[in-house]
Structure 1
């Protein structure tokens, strides 16, 4: 017999500690799910306080206000007749847990604490929460909640929920990624629906892994899998990339968008419970494992997910057909993820727009195009009737939403080319042409007088006149003169961000954007407190290679003038040209951006020190480089990595997009004071090179 039920997974753009806003979004999502005739609704991990509260989870206020929000949801009778799953921190026996709370018709059915906590990369859940490792027990409700529900205690623990017609198991985010995933044992014990509420961030090329894990889970175990994820910037570097989904028996039925600026997206699917039973019963080895498998405690609820036979709801049910997973290319991910993140940050910060030093190079070009993408998304949302987007545009601009991305950019995006005697006409022209194409309010100025004033102060103090190296100066003089230009641009950026809107009689100031890529940060190839010091950096965790591909894609897809940026050789343009000398990034670094990407992945993802990195690269690069050349490159990388590591303590908060990000504030917890000689490690490399060369000579 067919048993159809409609289920809903909700993608919400929550904001850490925005209890009122979070409540409103949760409530609206439940009402939308009910309107779609869903009988089960799930939402993102820790959706009541917001996932990114971090050390605010240690405050009793966060727990208390979460209970307050839950109480308002419990007493709302318009939310009845749908089984609701939500998330919040809960203090039990003076221990804090990351929990799911399932409730129905104003009664709490189960509190399910998280068993396996995410505690690597960007995640520090062990700092705030404890793994649940006890049998189920009774949880005494706070009096304020007890008055609403009429319950004194409710079950807390790892239980299955038995409805009249099915069985539901709960899995939380990290638990899906662990070897001993709970969905396996729960499925073997008869859980036909697994619900997973997540706070999973965006990284380039990551979504495919997430989809495949869920697909394999349901293909191997059978069953229905509901996955929910937060979307948006909830107050930090991470962008949570949505993509809630519903799968059954290995088939994807529904998938939410990965990137969008809408606050609420409800994704529903109508599924057949009986197809789970027939799928599982047809696999005899699965049945044998189920017969001897773990038995879960069960919480029973007097509620049916499916409609009665021969009723209107039963006859009107239309099963959802299988669909193919939707994946963006990496170029599309670069275009959309940081753009959505920037819009969330702008509208929630209360500022009037963004300011970007537009140098005419690839990095600032990519950053400008990302802001252009943000304007396109916002204009499209306003045209589509998104009331939240319309209200946000009004707050930012003080006027009605414009009709084109260029018109919006004219109001909220300011760019400036800040040239010196060392700048070229080509970079100035590229910056001006791009600004015209995307519609930014663009200014072009020379800062030589300001540079001369700073040098003049030094000369007045010491009587010495520093010179560039190409004009006979020392390397120290050369570096100091370059840094004056770079740091003056940071100073002028903040001046222009504060006063250009004032000069245009606009009421608000601007947020300053940086445009240093992940490879430059890894190598330390930037000036501390120069234009890399800003309020936000949309490309700070994106590689130079991906940025080049992105602006080439943007040129074709958006019709933007990017060809000149791609053809130009990357250069800081901080020293004068001289016969036989042109300053370029890769010649100064003595390594290519492709090599930097390889160093970054081996250092972070493969956790290599100098010697193990050398050993791996000897094999990877043996066709292009000798062992001695590889050793020299590895030693050079680790020297500059070490000597510049202190710069990462002040690096601008960057959108997280790459697994080898060197951001030490959150993602990369390594020291910033190193012995830059690496004497023991480098000696091991030298000895290995000598042995390899000796073997080669003997052969």
Structure 2
């Protein structure tokens, strides 16, 4: 599945004490190896330390750095780990600040720092030359000849393609890593020596996250620590590991011991994001220079301990504050979309069926907010409750109470007699509770809503959500159809939190109590008769499986294009202790089966606003043949 464990390391150092610094680097190599790390990135000029000043012009320092590189190469033998350390390199008549890439006893290549800062507290040009024009060169070291030297190097082992830049390179308008990723690199390391100033760590973090997001890559950042010279500056040893804009790991700054952090990178995810982004593909042919692909081979990249965080609810932010902001943003998108549609169509009213369930409740709240925003009377919101064979007192009372408290035009139309008449007309026995029995009710309700909308010059507002569309858990030309589906890209796991947000932050306690009870009600279409206690007998999740699993499957299937093996592996990891492996695989096969066989419903989907990264609209994100085979995914 092409996961790889990568890490950054910050050794304790003594300024210009190369023997001591090398010893600490070697200790961290051993620690990285024990953690099964396959890439370990050290800070800028870590062999000498960054703050040597004019000592960089001393031949003794430069020569000892070369000997230290040989020691580190020897130490790397048998580690099966790519190691990147910083040291000065005397090449022709200039000194370069370089990243030395080492694997199994050899220096695979040397990358110079492209951009040398010479402003405010930095004056590196006193010692170092810029390497942004160095490509396709070779250098000799005392222990190895003809080492590739230049900014155009990529180091490849199968799917894993690495490139490196140094500190200031990330701060410039076009970082060298931007070119490297266009040439195929998917993991970037940055050897840095970034001093601390008030708020600089936040800006540094934003740069790393932004670059990893723009470049669809993993980005490892390792900066010099607190034992650099404090003559004028203080360094903190800041380390970050990011993947596609997400922070995988960050250390606590200002530590005073050797430190290493690791994280597991999902290379398949990165490659899939690049495959989907046509702009990324286009720019791949517009590079300023050709890259050299230096191949090496890991003997084993298996993850001994899979400790990567896998969110069981990928659509729902775990942080309450961020979740509240997300809910507010979604409501804003929904109301903006509906407001435009109402104004454009010239509709005077909105017509919506209210069942007392989550989806129709959320849709009603969006309509309320839209009408309030437009300054329209809530009396122009026609809410229709349509009790049938399976309607329970709980859902009925919640539907009626909510509509009355919100001051809508509430209408009740019982569909039992109309459904019985239809059974008689088509020759279907009312005691046979099959799919016909259920769909007759769903289509009767939709017919009522459509006809009221015609009569009142209104729009029928769809209530179905993304999870139901993915599973085809809707009646074709029944609840599947509307004039504007405002929940169509919101998964079921997120619907609950949107209703909860409205209960806690938008409406008063009376309405809030109703909303909270709706959240606690089991999900059901209520199309089968009630049980003997008058309770819901048809619980959706008992039939098609837990929505939290299906939303998880949907996210990785659509958003990441993951294989069935990977999706199930991640689900087993995320839901450990909640569902067994057998249950997860059972419901995954159910998801795939329904997803493929129900595409014809999504192909005839009404308009509706996209609010998140996934939409199944046939006009936008998802265009799939209705008769595609599922066999390769089961």
TM-score, normalization by structure 2: 0.47
Structure with the largest fraction of helix: 1
TM-score, normalised relative to structure 1: 0.43
